[in-house]
Amino acid sequence: MTEARTNLFGLPRQQMEAFFAELGEKPFRARQIMQWLYRQGVDDFSAMTDLSKSLRSRLADIAELHVPEIIVEQRSSDDTRKWMLGMDGAQGIETVFIPETARGTLCISSQVGCVLDCSFCSTAQQGFNRNLSTAEIIGQVWLANRELGYRPDGDRIVTNVVFMGMGEPLANYRNVVPALDILTDDFGFGLSRRRVTLSTSGLVPMLERLGEDCNVALAVSLHAPDNALRNQLVPINRKHPIEELLDACWHYADEVYGRFITFEYVMLDGVNDSPAQARDLARLMRGRPGKVNLIPFNPFPGTHYRRSPVAAIEKFREVLLQAGVRATIRKTRGDDIDAACGQLAGRVNDRTRVRLGKKMIQIAVNPS
Residue ranges that bind ligand SAH, judged by CB under 6 A: 118, 120-121, 164, 168, 199-201, 221, 264, 266, 295, 297-298, 341-342
**Which residue's CB is nearer to ligand SAH, number 32 or number 200?**
200
For the CB of residue 243, give the shortest distance to ligand SAH in the complex, in Å.
Answer: 19
- Give min distance, CB of 297 to ligand SAH, in A: 5
- Smallest distance, ligand SAH to C-beta of residue 81, A: 18
- Give the nearer residue to ligand SAH in terms of CB position, either 8 or 285: 285
Nearest alpha carbon to residue 328 among 338, 347, 314: 314
CB of 180 to ligand SAH, least distance (A): 14
Give the Cα separation of 251 and 326 in Å (integer).
Answer: 19
CA 284 to the chain's CA centroid? 26
Element (H, E) at 157: none
Helix (H, G, I), strand (E, B) or coil at 160: strand
Q: Residue 65 or 295: which CB sits closer to ligand SAH? A: 295
- Three-state secondary structure call for residue 171: helix
Task: Please report how many Cα atoms fall inside a 13 Å half-sphere around the Cα of residue 241, on the Cβ side.
Answer: 5
Of residues 6 and 332, the one with the C-beta less far from ligand SAH: 332
Count, in order, helices (H) and strands (E) of the chain. 11, 16
Nearer to ligand SAH, 184 or 343 (CB): 343
Going by the DSSP 8-state scheme, the letter that residue 89 receives in this structure is: T
Nearer to ligand SAH, 43 or 338 (CB): 338
Size (the chain), residues: 368
Nearest 5°: the CA angle 45, 51, 57 is 50
Burial class (CB in 10 A: 0-12, 13-18, 19+), 364: exposed
Taking the complex as a whole, how short is the minimal distance between the CB of residue 265 and ligand SAH, in angstroms? Answer: 8
Question: What's the angle, vertex CA 229, arms to CA 241 and CA 131, rounded to 5?
Answer: 60
Q: Which residue number is nearest to ligand SAH in terms of Cβ?
A: 342
- Least distance (Å) between residue 108 CB and ligand SAH: 10
Catalytic residue (choose from 107, 118, 121, 341): 341
Active site residue 94: yes
Largest CA distance in the chain: 69
Judge contact between 217 and 258, C-beta under 8 A: no
From the list 94, 136, 168, 264, the catalytic residue is 94
Q: SS3 for 200? A: strand
The residues annotated with a catalytic role in the active site are 94, 341
